[in-house]
Amino acid sequence: MSSIELKPTDKRLKGEISVPGDKSISHRSVIFSALAQGTSVITNFLTGEDCLRTVEAFRLMGVNIEQEGNKITVHGKGISHLREPSQPINFGNSGTTARLMSGVLAGLPLFTTAFGDESLSKRPMDRVIQPLRVMGAEIRGREDDSLLPLAFRGKNLEGTRHELTVKSAQVKSALLLAGMLAEGETEVIELGETRNHTEMLLPEFGVDVEVEGRSIKIKGGQKPFASDIKVPGDISSAAFFLVAASIVPDSELIIRDVGLNPTRDGIVRALKEMGANIEVHVHTHIGSEPVGDIVVRHSRLKGMTLEGDLIPNVIDEIPILALAATQAEGKTIIKDAEELRYKETDRIEAVVETLTTLGADVQAKEDGMVIQGGSPLKGGSVDSFGDHRIGMMGAIASLICEGEVIVKNKDCINISYPSFFTDLNQVLN
């Protein structure tokens, strides 16, 4: 098990930084390009382990995909040229790969098996499998077809109207991809707003998607064509630096070329509500996705209540927001976030254990946590639990701890941010 020892520091964060490409958009760009006819070039692709699982899945299905640094070239031949894999597909730790690929595999005339690592094998898949079955999918798996490994016997699917029972962009995206392969029209009614990269990005590949309120419709039989995509910086990765600069005295940092999708910018809204000194400057668009620079300076934070419709927008950033809350004045309440229990680990328990070990006053609730602010963090040995976002939270916490912080099992950070420690050291002065 790898670990890193982080000594106390009086350094501040200064300068400029660019974070790796957006994880959600990187996954989707590869999927759409591999289904398309023609050659697509994806630049600033996130070369973390999760996204490379999606690349490898399509290589096993006969798609020629070249990688040169963070540039990916996908030589798509269209949906009809995908072939049956000769071996099981390894989804690794990637929930996005597992759920989105389920929508694809269910609608192809192929037999496919897929598995994941120990963590992914515990994460619920029935939320995707059950609505896909309504469309005619034949999928089998462990524990009443709810867990990986899974076997897909691809079928001709029928377009269906789905009313989602969970707030999940992954489930929505899986159903839209299945709908693109199905006969007739598929409509997905969201329970609440979730990240909308799928419906924003598909039109770049020539696929029509109709969005009206919480209803998203897609007609089956559409054939995507190749498109070049430049992936913006991942705001979920930027979140660690936004919080770091907010809580480390005398810090001032510029984060360049970050994706500012309105369904993903909840971290900025939440930190501003806590009193953070943040400026956002949109300077371009990639497709329909706004992209810009974020300027953040150290400030005194105050507690807040994080709940309701904002939760799906910040679900991946809650661990680092919890760290910010330990340094805020007053109490922070996070609720309506039970989905955290079904991530790479039970993130509610992982956040509470990590921050408590470091000296914070945090209590777990069934759907969130309560954090008493103003806690001086002392340091200690913490485990990432194999969760990249918990590992990075522990590393950022070390910047304000009185003693040494040891982060165990740090290699999981490579899932989303392989250059995290290099980038962090670059801006510490």
Residue numbering of the annotated binding site for 3-phosphoshikimate: 23-24, 28, 168, 170, 316, 343
Q: Tokens 């005398």 identify what position? A: 250
- Write the DSSP assignment of 62-114 as a string of letters: T-EEEEETTEEEEEEE-GGG----SS-EE-TT-HHHHHHHHHHHHTSSSEEEE
Q: Are the C-beta atoms of 358 and 405 separated by less than 8 Å?
A: yes
DSSP state of 20: P
In the sheet that holds 229-230, the strands lie side by side as: 64-68, 71-77, 37-43, 229-230
Going by the annotation, the residues of the binding site for phosphoenolpyruvate are 23, 95, 123, 170, 347, 389
Cα–Cα separations (whole angstroms), residue 96 to 281, 350, 354? 29, 21, 25
CA–CA separation, 159 and 176 (whole Å): 10
Question: Where is the binding site, in residues?
Answer: 23-24, 28, 95, 123, 168, 170, 316, 343, 347, 389
- Pick from 369, 331, 335, 333: nearest CA to 350: 369
Given 316, 383, 387, 423, which residue is catalytic? 316
Q: Given phi > 0 = left and psi -120 to 50 = alpha, else beta, which region is 27?
A: alpha
Could you tell me how many helices (H) and strands (E) the chain has, helices first? 14, 23
Pairing of strands 161-163, 37-43: unpaired
| C-beta atoms surrounding 284 within 10 Å | 11
CB count within 10 Å of CB 342 equals: 16
Q: For residue 373, give both structure tokens.
A: 């602010």
Residue 302 CA to residue 76 CA, distance in Å, equals: 50
Longest CA–CA separation in the chain, Å: 61
Instruction: Check if 22 is active-site.
Output: no
Angle at 190 (CA atoms; ends 141, 220), nearest 5 degrees? 70
Nearest to 379 by CA among 362, 354, 361: 354
Q: What element of type H or E holds 229?
A: strand 229-230
Distance, C-alpha 92 to centroid of its chain: 15
Name residue, tokens 């707030």.
Answer: 167
State the catalytic residues: 316
